[in-house]
Amino acid sequence: MKRVYMDANATTPLLPEVLDAMRPYFIEHFGNASSIHQQGQQARAAVEQARESVAALINCRAAEIVFTSGGTESDNLALFGLVQPGDHLITSSIEHHAVLHAAEKLRERGIEVTFLPVSGDGVINPQDLRRAIQDNTKLISIMMANNETGAIQPVSEIGRIAAEADIYFHTDAVQAAGKLPIDVQSLRCDLLSISGHKMHAPQGTGILYVRKGTQLEPLFFGGSHERQRRAGTENLPGIVGLGKAAEIARVALTDGTVEKIAALRNRLEQGILSQVEDTGVNGGSVRRVPNTTNIYFDNLEGEALVIALDLKGLCTSGGSACASGAAEPSHVLSAMALAQPRARASLRFSLTKLSTDEDVDFALEVIPVAASRLRELAPVNAGTLG
């Protein structure tokens, strides 16, 4: 059966070039990057090469890159590494749970936390941020692009506000890396998270950019790896894969790939809106990453549509991967003040650079049929939509 994957924001497939780059580091060049013999030195050279490649993607020094196990660890390292009881942290209500739940845990430990609201289109207002700043504000953590809607946050302005107020700024760029150009110098951020598996590197890889001079308490204690910022033997093949994926992502930002993905996304979105009644785009009027659209299909259950589409061979998602299956509607759509039935009737379609015109044709074939069948079989009362 034909299968079409439109869930890139959950994870992306490894690119063959990435696997080829990684392959020798499993068996042939298996060394521990801390060993002084040749096997170790080879491993060290490969790790440092990957560090350069990732640094080039975000315009920082290689020494400012800390390899981690992924976006979740990077976010946790940024937050737990910087704030102490008595400090104030500002974040937003639409962050990934890796930031939200970390912030909630910090609050239990005596850190003051402000969760900024968002507009109906899912964007933070920098004026709200300015108003939230206190004398003890130590860190601002605002994502670059939202994983559910793709909405791009005003991070340049936030970086400027943070720098003027002399407050650390962390941005979760997990859903932006490879989709938007990232320059930590113009952004003026101090910390930035990236996850490998959202950009065609292996799952379980990631980085935290840590601006030189930022005093960060590590999460793990052990060896002096990663300049004492992250103890533990480096994941050599994973890091090599992440480096390769960063090189490929950097090229894709300028060779028309990103524009191609945006054109496919736009055709998919317009096709759904014109072929399926009572649909609309959540956060459709703001700048979004090129691969993502979040669409509500009023009068049906989103989870049921995800399953119906899966049975037809189309992979989509009814919220963030971690939240799907939970009865609660997405916290992001709720923060955007969507009525609960509409939030529950929303699907995320996220394309990869491997997506094709045929994939969009296929989606536009199966979605209208599945949506109308579900509406006939199990109508959801439109009166409750509000």
Report the nearest approach of ligand PLP to the CB of residue 382 (Å): 31
Report the nearest approach of ligand PLP to the CB of residue 320 (Å): 6
Numbers of helices and strands, H then E, in the chain: 14, 12
Task: Find the residue with minimal CB distance to ligand PLP.
Answer: 71
CB 277 within 8 Å of CB 296: no
Report the nearest approach of ligand PLP to the CB of residue 342 (Å): 22
CB 244 within 8 Å of CB 53: yes
Q: Which is nearer to ligand PLP, 96 or 312 (CB)?
A: 96
CB 381 within 8 Å of CB 339: no
Q: Which is nearer to ligand PLP, 179 or 375 (CB)?
A: 179
* H or E element, residue 349: strand 346-350
Distance CA 129, CA 349 (A): 30
Chain positions contacting ligand PLP, by CB under 6 A? 70-72, 75, 96, 98, 143, 147, 172, 174-175, 195, 197, 206, 320
Q: Side-chain half-sphere of 74: how many Cα atoms within 13 Å?
A: 29
Report the nearest approach of ligand PLP to the CB of residue 38 (Å): 32
Report the nearest approach of ligand PLP to the CB of residue 381 (Å): 32
CB 96 within 8 Å of CB 320: yes
Residues marked active site are found at: 322
Relative orientation angle of helices 97-108 and 71-82, to the nearest 10 degrees = 30
Q: Which is nearer to ligand PLP, 92 or 195 (CB)?
A: 195
Q: Which is nearer to ligand PLP, 71 or 290 (CB)?
A: 71
The alpha helices in 151-235, defined as continuous H runs, are: 155-164, 184-187, 225-228
Q: Which is nearer to ligand PLP, 42 or 171 (CB)?
A: 171
Q: Which is nearer to ligand PLP, 324 or 372 (CB)?
A: 324
* H or E element, residue 76: helix 71-82
- CA separation (Å) from 246 to 62, 208, 243, 250? 13, 14, 5, 6
Report the nearest approach of ligand PLP to the CB of residue 106 (Å): 17
CB 282 within 8 Å of CB 293: no
Q: Which is nearer to ligand PLP, 149 or 299 (CB)?
A: 149
DSSP reduced 3-state for 80: helix
Report the Cα–Cα distance between both ends of the chain, in Å, rounded: 39
CB 173 within 8 Å of CB 49: no
